[in-house]
């Protein structure tokens, strides 16, 4: 269910913030807020207008910033918000690109592993078994290094990427 947006009159907004209506009119004249107008030309303040007015009143009354400073702060906040949106968009785009590249690399690795496994099976089938009775000194590894090489010849690759 969509919620209806409420509008407030200038008197209600003035009471909300304990300021004079003329102060709110001044903020409108300076371009800091721009409430809608009714058919009878009455100012209608939306919830966004009220939030903005709350910030203006905080800056002017509590922090002591003048209206020119408030205008600059509001303008800079708008720029920061726009830049943040652009950065988020670039971040999302880059993250998507990285995920696509990662998936492509994983697929390439899987394909290469399959090729290696096929190659290993083919080479294992093509070699003739040695008859155990005919074992000679050349069939046995002669040194520790030969034993290591013989052990590393039986490689088993399992890349679950």
Q: Where are the alpha helices (DSSP H) in the chain?
A: 10-17, 21-29, 47-57, 67-126, 144-153
Residue 104 to residue 139: CA distance in whole angstroms: 43
Domain residue limits at 94:
77-125
The tokens of 53 are what?
Answer: 């007015």
pLDDT of residue 138: 52
Distance of alpha carbon 78 from its chain centroid, rounded? 21
- Are residue 58 and residue 82 in the same domain, yes or no? no
- Whether residue 105 sits in one domain with residue 47: no
Residues shown for the chain: 161
Element (H, E) at 157: none
Q: Assess whether pLDDT exceeds 80 at residue 21.
A: yes
- pLDDT per residue over 106-132, tens digit each? 999 999 999 998 888 887 776 655 555
The vertex-77 CA angle with 81 and 79, nearest 5°, equals: 55
Percent of the chain whose predicted confidence (pLDDT) is above 70: 75
In a domain, 138, yes or no: no
pLDDT at 97 over 60: yes
pLDDT of residue 123: 79
Residues 61 and 95 in one domain: no
The reply to whether 45 and 25 lie within a common domain is yes
Examine the pLDDT at 94 and tell me if it is beyond 80.
yes
- Residue 20 covered by a domain: yes
Cα distances from 57 to residues 78, 89, 113, 116, in angstroms, run: 18, 33, 67, 71
Q: What is the mean pLDDT of residues 27-35?
A: 95
* 4 belongs to a structural domain: yes
Q: How many domains does the chain have?
A: 2
CATH number reported for the structural domain that contains residue 42 in this entry? 1.10.1660.10
pLDDT digit string (tens) for 37-91?
999 999 999 999 999 999 999 999 999 999 999 999 999 999 999 999 999 999 9
């Amino acid at each position: 269910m969509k919620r209806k947006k409420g509008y407030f009159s200038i008197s209600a907004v003035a009471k909300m913030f304990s300021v004079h209506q003329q102060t709110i009119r001044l903020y409108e004249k300076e371009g800091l807020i721009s409430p809608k107008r009714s058919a009878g030309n009455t100012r209608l303040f939306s919830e966004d207008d009220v939030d903005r007015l709350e910030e203006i009143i905080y800056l002017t009354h509590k922090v002591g910033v003048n209206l020119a400073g408030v205008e600059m702060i509001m303008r800079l906040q708008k720029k920061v918000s726009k830049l943040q949106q652009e950065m988020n968009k670039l971040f999302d785009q880059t993250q998507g690109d990285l995920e696509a590249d990662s998936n492509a690399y994983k697929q390439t690795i899987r394909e290469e592993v399959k090729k290696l496994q096929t190659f290993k099976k083919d080479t294992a089938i093509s070699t003739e078994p040695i008859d155990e009775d005919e074992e000679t000194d050349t069939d046995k590894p002669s040194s520790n290094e030969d034993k290591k090489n013989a052990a590393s010849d039986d490689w088993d690759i399992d890349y679950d990427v």
